[in-house]
Structure 1
Amino acid sequence: MPKLEFGILLMPSSPRGESFHSRVQESIEQAVAAEEAGFDSCWVPEHHQDKGFIPQSLLVAAAVAARTATIRIGTNISLIGLKHPMQVVEEFYSLDAISGGRAVAGVGLGYQAQDFSMFDRDVRDRVSLYEDALTVLNLAREQEVISYQGRHCSFTDVKVIPRPTQPGGPPILMGTSTRPGARRAARLGDGLLLGGLDGLDGLSTIVEEYITHAEQNGRASSVTLNRWAAVGDSRTAAQAVLEPHAMKAMRYYFRHGATLSAMMPAALRSAWAAARNPADLTFDDFEELFVCGTPDDCVERLELLRKTLRLNRIVLQIRSGGGPAHEVVLDQIRRFGTAVIPHFR
Structure 2
Amino acid sequence: MRFGVTVGLLHPAVWRDFAIEADKLGFESVWVPEHLVFTEDMARSQYPGGEKPPVLPEAQLFDAPAMLCAIAQETRNIKLATYVYLFGLRHPFIGARAFSTLDAVSDGRAIVGVGSGWMESEWDAVQLDFASRGRRLDEAITVAKRLWTERVVTHHGEFYDFSGVYFEPKPVCEPHPPVIAGGTSKAALRRAVRLCEGWVGMPGTLETVKPQLDLLEEILRAEGRGRDTFEVTVSAFDMAGPEEVREWEALGADRVVVRPYTRTSTAIEELRQFAREYGVTPAAG
Task: Give the TM-score of the pair, scaled to structure 2.
Answer: 0.84
The structure-2 alpha-carbon separation of the partners of 1:325 and 1:181, relative to structure 1 and needing over 3 Å to count, comes to closer
CA RMSD of aligned residues (A): 2.2
> Secondary structure of the residue that 1:291 maps to in structure 2?
coil
Match of 1:244 in 2: none
Deviation at 1:10, TM superposition (A): 1.3
Q: How many residues align?
A: 261
Match of 2:212 in 1: 203
Question: Which digits, 9 at most, give the CA deviation of each residue in 1:233-272, with x for residues without a partner?
Answer: xxxxxxxxxxxxxxxxxxxxxxxxxxxxxxxxxxxxxxxx
The structure-2 alpha-carbon separation of the partners of 1:216 and 1:69, relative to structure 1 and needing over 3 Å to count, comes to closer
Aligned mates of 1:196, 1:166 — CA distance in 2: 28
Deviation at 1:125, TM superposition (A): 1.5
Deviation at 1:342, TM superposition (A): 4.2
The structure-2 alpha-carbon separation of the partners of 1:342 and 1:72, relative to structure 1 and needing over 3 Å to count, comes to closer
Match of 1:17 in 2: none
Identity %: 24
Deviation at 1:178, TM superposition (A): 2.1
Aligned mates of 1:218, 1:317 — CA distance in 2: 26
Kept in 2: contact 1:107–1:172 (CA 8 A): yes
Question: Which digits, 9 at most, give the CA deviation of each residue in 1:45-102, with x for residues without a partner?
Answer: 1123234463421111111111111110010100001000111111110100111111
Deviation at 1:135, TM superposition (A): 0.9
Match of 2:34 in 1: 46
Aligned mates of 1:65, 1:51 — CA distance in 2: 27
Kept in 2: contact 1:186–1:219 (CA 8 A): no
The structure-2 alpha-carbon separation of the partners of 1:152 and 1:203, relative to structure 1 and needing over 3 Å to count, comes to same
Aligned mates of 1:68, 1:197 — CA distance in 2: 29
> Secondary structure of the residue that 2:236 maps to in structure 1?
strand
Match of 2:221 in 1: 212
Structure 1 gap segments, 5+ residues each = 15-22, 229-289, 293-297
Q: Which amino acid aligns with 1:291?
A: M
Deviation at 1:218, TM superposition (A): 9.5
Deviation at 1:205, TM superposition (A): 2.0
Match of 2:50 in 1: none
Bigger CA radius of gyration: 1
Structure 2 gap segments, 5+ residues each = 39-56
Aligned mates of 1:159, 1:130 — CA distance in 2: 21
Kept in 2: contact 1:207–1:223 (CA 8 A): no
Match of 1:254 in 2: none
Kept in 2: contact 1:44–1:77 (CA 8 A): yes
1:139 equivalenced with 2:146 (yes/no): yes
Of 252, 266, 269, the residue aligned with 1:331 is 269
Match of 1:221 in 2: 230
Deviation at 1:200, TM superposition (A): 3.3
Aligned mates of 1:216, 1:183 — CA distance in 2: 12
* Runs of 4 or more above 4 Å deviation: none
The structure-2 alpha-carbon separation of the partners of 1:69 and 1:164, relative to structure 1 and needing over 3 Å to count, comes to same
Of 60, 78, 81, the residue aligned with 2:85 is 78
Of 17, 23, 34, the residue aligned with 1:29 is 17
